[in-house]
Amino acid sequence: MRNNMSFDLKRHGEKLTTINPVIEGAAPDFALTDLAGQTIRLSELTKPVLISVFPDINTRVCSLQTKHFNLEASKHHEIDFLSISNNTKDQQKNWCAAEGVDMTVLSDNGDFGRAYGLLMTDGEMSGKLARATFVVKAGQITYHEILTEITDEPNYEAALAATK
């Protein structure tokens, strides 16, 4: 389900692009491959799902976001945590190995970004995912945060609270 709400995305206050993401209703299903080669399909996950989305794991804020959710994933086995970026699997594997991250990290070839309306289409960030978090329960989006300033970290506590 598309909403009528658009978000202007900025970096350090300068507008990059406008997106119109899916933020409520049925969560678009997706199937992405994890670093071990296993296909992860949203519709097959039975626990609440916290989806962390970011453009590039090799940047400071994306790295902080992934490390924070990895720490939470180690404490909250009642939640499925998914981290999704545009990085290649090799980039993700190398970063995870260097940082000691063992959560589910998925590489998006653009299909997820298009389905969720999170793909930036203008300028230097064209083709990259917007920074966002979602909570999906029983196939429904029950929480979203679209970070309009892409250099900001998400509200980790609110996302975790929304999984309850």
Q: Which of these, 19, 11, 7, lies nearest to 150 by C-alpha position? A: 11
- The tally of domains found in the chain comes to 1
Residue 108, domain extent: 14-162
Instruction: Supply the angle between the helices 89-99 and 60-75 in degrees, to the nearest 10.
Output: 70
Beta-bridge partner residues of 132: 53, 146
d(CA 136, CA 151): 24
> Is-catalytic flag, 96?
no
pLDDT digits (tens, 9 = 90+) for 56-91: 999 999 989 999 999 899 899 999 999 999 999 999
What whole-number percentage of the chain has pLDDT above 70? 98
Residue 4 lies in a domain: no
Average pLDDT over residues 34-55: 95
Is there a domain that residue 155 lies in?
yes
- Residue 39 within a domain: yes
3-state secondary structure of 53: strand
- Let me know if residue 6 belongs to a domain: no
Q: Which of 85, 86, 80 minimizes the C-alpha distance to 103?
A: 80
Contacts 24+ apart (CB under 8 A), 122-126: 122/16, 122/17, 123/16, 123/17, 124/16, 125/9, 125/11, 125/16, 125/17, 125/55, 125/150, 126/17
In a domain, 1, yes or no: no
- pLDDT at position 1 is 47
- 7 in a structural domain: no
Backbone angles phi, psi at 137, to 5 degrees: -130, 130
Of 61, 62, 105, 150, the catalytic one is 62
pLDDT of residue 27: 96
pLDDT on residue 131: 96
**pLDDT for 77:** 93
pLDDT given at position 121: 87
* CATH number where 143 lies: 3.40.30.10
pLDDT grade for 17, boundaries at 50, 70 and 90 = very high
111-142 pLDDT, tens digit per residue, is 999 999 999 988 788 889 999 999 999 999 99
Q: Please report the pLDDT score of residue 5 as a whole number.
A: 87
Q: Please give the helix or strand (H or E) that residue 15 lies within, else none.
A: strand 14-19
Which residue is associated with the tokens 């590039």? 56
